[in-house]
Chains A and B, each alone.
Chain A
């Protein structure tokens, strides 16, 4: 029964992939990102050939890791709160057939057991559960962030580790090749901006008084580094690479460019009313670009989406 469900889910995905490809052909900007993940999966399937039939039954207890698993061409049997994966703007999309295993840090053990997984993927933050999870299936801890770790290289290491555990090395190689190509493409489009030598603030406004800044060790900070762009935020950041800051702290670089990621509805208007925001040099000189919502933490697909969006946003910025 579940086999049939998964099959229909896969078929739906294939349809979605076709649709996305059609959209991409018609030049819709976001479909390119969506297709990136889907293409990666079909690549994986092509490479793995017959292995597709033996799609490993895997349960993932983390949303960024869900993205990594999906991007390797494996559809998990179960994921914690699947709705949140979509709410956090995850791509590739998660088929609706995937079973909800309950809360992130308190998965429902009975549901897990009835899924009969071959592998459970967790983060180091699930350590208290590990002994219990081991009873159900072999458990793999994959770390994307932590004290003293740069998220960007950690994402690559995690992708390799998961590919090894899932028997998807070929898919991983294809994904990395696509990521390199996407990065090279974005880098070429960003040449003009790079020539300005401006450092860049990556911001996600939280409300009218607080702003989250992406630090050097964040995923997007790592992408910036790979694109040869300076991150203007040199301050401290938490293990995920984010830092909460007030607007005054952004005055340090008078020549900085700003890119905001996923401004919550309503907050843009509030910011526009703030005299401090208006006084900041990048606002005065009209050097603020916006890109749509992206997950702050994700895998290689998220990095590709970010690189592409960034290139789109900054393509025209040449001074």
Chain B
């Protein structure tokens, strides 16, 4: 009976300090918020006086107290899920949010709210679980081959996040007004109005906890690699899916009870490990405790915020605000493999450049002509002949130019990033610069009394620049080790997502304005912007051409590069800066989340162009083609409504990418 305690004490002599500190903080906050509602003398009556209780006592009994309870339970559950995810995937960054599980649940609920509103009320859990499980499967499928390597998983999770996000946006744009309750739920609100939520959640979380406890022994073996674990007689074949299922179910329970709450699953286990819980057994005990306290503290802190903020801020968003910095901080402690030299894993036969380039160029020209001349009008599909040309050119040419330019830039940025990092999953969407640009645009829109296009563009550029500086500062420590830079980017992206969620969850007037803006505005392009984008594109192509030699050498590894007279660190810094500037320019046009930057370089290599220069050329052509098509589809697909080109590109690219990564 005493054994576990003894083990803990042995493993972590100072284990009690941090929880004690958290407990004291939580207790103080609880005292603070409760005494603001009810004089201390009346506290016992909350529980004891039954039906005779005064109104404030009833409010505490049915509103405040269950909220504390649900915060504790949800925090513990998320933290437990985090520990299991991290153990099974051998990845310290795995948790419901980074794995895409929360985004999947959110998407499923959004769809349900649109298709069958009655479902949401009665079958919230089933819907959330379906979405969460599908998202988990997608993330797993993408990283199976890479043995669930830390960075790959986070990247794949982020891709699932982005894809689910794009789908949600599409639904949001069309069905906006029917989704108010989904928005609130997405912000993660812990508000309770009775004990029903607690009664529902507690036994389910306890059952999952018991199941996890039963799995301690096989789970511990995951500390070894797959081979050694199998030799010790463990069947990875069933342990891994069962453990993952438990964690996904836990996440879905919490998601359907209170909504999307991120980063607790990251913070709980980290703090538990920090205070010395090294063994899985200890982590399974301490992490949920710490997680429960963390969420309770966050929730109580939100409640004690003065006035406007306290009433407006959903707890989930508040937690996410702290999560970004936490992730950045964790990066310093994360061991990341050095970029592997691009091996001969995919030695696609090299091809002559001319024919495919001519073919792609021809396709691009055809796409441009079709996009300009063939579209839906109020009289149906129409080919615009020369005499009507003067009516429509102003609306079609600038945005086509901008889409094309943005496609080229983001494809070049993607090629550069993938070559510099040696990571085929690297993409400008994940560099964080897009997130920064989006944040800048948001600040500009909120601060400016009349948000005009130049103000928004300036905000976006400033945000991208600040982000870039942050990433460079953080990256210097690791000598611009690509994986570190990417992970920093992901942290910033996640932070930006959280802020956007926060800004739009309140459902006010800003939200309606910001939602379309987040996903790019091919829409607001005027000729001047188009010309600017065009000039940037030409400059980008020149710079990329000049950098081709570095891009050829860097994937061979830092040692080879240094030996060949290319200062690896300096070259990386410069190339990253170029990629970031290109991304910032493209983000303004197509928004932060298109998979073009990820897809175009891939396709170029698959087509048989592994060399830097030819890969960039082909990728740029593919990127431009994709964006022109997306813009055309966005204008005509559900006429007269117009979809942001970035979202269409994401929808086009996502399935292809997932299929590609599965192989």
Contacts and interface: CB of A to CB of B under 8 A. Distances in A.
Chains A and B bind each other: yes
Interface of A: 81, 84, 87-88, 99-106, 108-111, 113-114, 124-125, 127-132, 135, 145, 206-210, 235-236, 238-240, 243-249, 251, 254, 265-267, 270, 273-277, 279-281
Given A238-B506, A251-B55, 14 more contacts: A84-B177, A105-B516, A110-B392, A113-B395, A125-B509, A206-B180, A207-B185, A244-B312, A254-B55, A266-B118, A273-B194, A274-B62, A276-B58, A279-B59
19 contacts: A103-B641, A106-B523, A108-B641, A128-B524, A132-B524, A206-B184, A210-B181, A238-B506, A243-B311, A245-B311, A248-B59, A248-B193, A267-B121, A274-B62, A274-B196, A276-B63, A276-B193, A277-B193, A281-B55
Interface stretch (B4-12, B445-453, B496-504): B445-453
Contacts of A114: 377-378
B526 to A, nearest CB: 7
B604 to A, nearest CB: 32
Interface in B14-60: 55-56, 58-59
Contacts of A273: 194, 196
Interface in B57-91: 58-59, 62-64
A127 B508 CA distance: 17
B308 interface: yes
Contacts of B117: 265-266
A239 B518 CA distance: 22
A207 B181 contact: yes
Contact of A108 (B59, B451, B642): B642
A210 B191 contact: yes
Contact of B526 (A132, A210, A243): A132
Dominant SS among interface residues on chain B? helix
B473 interface: no
A270 B121 contact: yes
Contacts of A280: 55
A128 B456 contact: yes
B452 A128 contact: yes
B565 interface: no
A209 B192 contact: yes
Interface in B500-552: 506-509, 512-513, 516, 523-524, 526
A101 B392 CA distance: 16
Contacts of A276: 58-59, 62-63, 192-194
Contacts of B144: none
Contacts of A254: 55
B227 interface: no
Contacts of A100: 640
Nearest to B644: A106
A253 to B, nearest CB: 10
Interface string B636-662: 000111100000000000000000000
A244 B506 contact: yes
B308 A236 contact: yes
Nearest to A239: B509
A206 B181 contact: yes
Given A101-B640, A105-B513, A240-B508, A128 B192 contact: no
Contacts of B377: 110-111, 114
Contacts of B385: none
Given A129-B524, A209-B192, A251-B55, A236 B311 contact: yes
Nearest to B391: A113
A131 B177 CA distance: 27
Contacts of A244: 184, 311-312, 506-507
A109 B64 contact: no
A210 B184 CA distance: 9
B307 interface: yes
Nearest to A78: B640
Nearest to B122: A266
Contacts of B194: 273-276
Max chain B C-beta neighbours (<10 A), residue from A128, A236, A265, A267: A128
B179 to A, nearest CB: 11
Contact of B189 (A104, A209, A266): A209
Contacts of B506: 238, 244
B307 A207 contact: no
B378 A99 contact: yes
Interface of B: 55-56, 58-59, 62-64, 117-118, 121, 173, 177-178, 180-181, 184-185, 189, 191-196, 307-308, 311-312, 375, 377-378, 391-392, 394-395, 450-453, 456, 506-509, 512-513, 516, 523-524, 526, 639-642
B199 to A, nearest CB: 12
A209 B187 CA distance: 14
A239 B508 contact: yes
A132 B398 CA distance: 12
Contacts of B181: 206-207, 210
A267 B62 CA distance: 18
Contact of A103 (B56, B173, B378, B526): B173
Contacts of B523: 106
A1 B311 CA distance: 53
A275 B391 contact: no
Nearest to A297: B509
B63 A125 contact: no
B303 to A, nearest CB: 10
A110 B640 CA distance: 9
A161 B64 CA distance: 48
Contact of A109 (B395, B453, B641): B395
B58 A125 contact: no
Given A128-B524, A131-B452, A244-B312, A110 B63 contact: no
B242 to A, nearest CB: 33
A271 to B, nearest CB: 8
A103 B516 contact: yes
Contact of A238 (B58, B196, B391, B509): B509
A106 B378 contact: no
A102 B640 contact: yes
Nearest to A277: B193
A111 B640 contact: yes
A145 B308 CA distance: 18
A176 to B, nearest CB: 26
A273 to B, nearest CB: 7
Given A110-B377, A110-B395, A279-B59, A208 B193 contact: yes
A65 B584 CA distance: 37
Contacts of A127: 450-452
A3 to B, nearest CB: 15
Contact of B509 (A109, A240, A247, A279): A240
B62 to A, nearest CB: 4
A98 B509 CA distance: 25
A103 B517 CA distance: 13
B451 A251 contact: no
A101 B59 CA distance: 48
B40 to A, nearest CB: 19
B460 to A, nearest CB: 12
A207 B181 CA distance: 6
A196 B158 CA distance: 58
A274 B194 CA distance: 6
Contacts of B180: 206
A266 B121 contact: yes
Given A206-B181, A238-B506, A135 B394 contact: yes
Contacts of B191: 209-210, 246
Nearest to A145: B509
Contacts of B177: 84, 87-88
Contacts of A110: 375, 377, 392, 395
Contacts of A102: 640-642
Nearest to B453: A128
A111 B639 CA distance: 10
A107 B88 CA distance: 49
